Amino acid sequence: MRPDYEHALHLWLLNRGLLVTPFHNMMLTAPMLPRAAIDALCHEIGAFIDAT
């Protein structure tokens, strides 16, 4: 529950071409989302964590 980090993460992802919408501290994805998109999202979240 860190709004400042949540906002920074959203900007981090947006600057890398990944648009996510906040939904009660969850990220929802469509079941037909390609594996490569999930991998990219996971990679960038990890990169954000490493950078903070």
pLDDT score recorded for residue 36: 95
Domain ranges of the chain: 3-51
Q: Identify which has the larger pLDDT, 25 or 51.
A: 51
SS3 letters across 29-49: CCCCCCHHHHHHHHHHHHHHH
- Residues 12-20 have a mean pLDDT of 92
Pair 44, 18: CB distance under 8 Å: yes
Pair 42, 13: CB distance under 8 Å: no
- pLDDT tens, residue by residue, 20-35: 877 766 778 888 999 9
pLDDT score recorded for residue 12: 96
